[in-house]
Amino acid sequence: MVGTEMVMVDEIPFPPQTTTTKPLSLLGHGITDIEIHFLQIKFTAIGVYLEPEVVGHLQQWKGKPGNVLAEDDEFFEALINAPVEKFLRVVVIKEIKGSQYGVQLESAVRDRLAADDKYEEEEEEALEKVVEFFQSKYFKKNSIITYHFPADSATAEISLTTEGKEEAKIKVENANVVEMIKKWYLGGTRGVSASTITSLANALSTELCK
């Protein structure tokens, strides 16, 4: 069959397409990592799935090369705000406690909300629920965290699949928190994974030239 070739992201297979309510294409991928004393420690592999129609909302960047787009936060702002479905698939490379991941998400989202003066009681409560969702979990290697952002509502559904356990899910209904979760992963130069941003920029640059 054509099109079933897996895309390898740091030895972790990602399907080239995923279907939520409609088929979405893998348009960017990368990893989160840190370097300690010249040693690279990899935490997660990331795949970003988008509706192919997303390019219709990014026409003003047509003809710009990927390396230019990767540095252009307005481009990623437009991508985040485009009314298309978005799906993130995050696969654990280095096992960690869910609480550690939750704390990373919390501080990234809270800092962004505070900077935009959007961190009120409702946001705090919504974020607290997400942190609690991850609190009791353990991310074994190859556990999968997904974020599904529908096209027509400012919500997010987060799910966690880990070996031997049933899939766990939580829905986030606070629009400001949802926006900042998107920005954590897709926020251009401030995104959590530079390799993912570069990959997205290059793929979208190519798509925009078609």
8 A C-beta contact, residue 31 and residue 195: yes
Sequence-separated contacts (24+) of 72-81 with Cβ below 8 Å: 72/188, 73/187, 73/188, 73/189, 73/190, 75/188, 75/201, 76/186, 76/187, 76/188, 76/191, 76/197, 77/188, 79/54, 79/186, 79/200, 79/204, 80/179, 80/182, 80/183, 80/186, 80/187
The predicted pLDDT at position 21 comes to 87
The pLDDT of residue 164? 87
- Taken in order of first residue, the domains within the chain and their CATH numbers are 7-53+82-186 (3.50.70.10)
Which pairs count as long-range contacts for 115-122, CB under 8 Å and 24+ apart, including other chains?
118/176, 122/174, 122/176
| pLDDT score at 173 | 97
- pLDDT above 90 covers a percentage of the chain that reads 94
Q: Are 158 and 177 in contact (CB under 8 A)?
A: no
Low-confidence residues of the chain: pLDDT under 50: 1
Question: Among all chains, which residue has been given the structure tokens 């640059």?
Answer: 205
7: Cβ contacts below 8 Å, ≥ 6 apart: 13, 14, 15, 16, 26, 29, 47
* pLDDT at residue 3, as a whole number: 53
Give percent helix, percent strand, percent coil of the chain, each to the nearest 5.
40, 30, 30
Helix (H, G, I), strand (E, B) or coil at 83: coil
- Which pLDDT does position 1 carry in this prediction? 43
Question: 3-class SS at 70?
Answer: coil
- Rounded-to-integer distance, Cα 190 and Cα 181, Å: 12
Instruction: Tell me if residue 64 falls in helix, strand or coil.
Output: coil
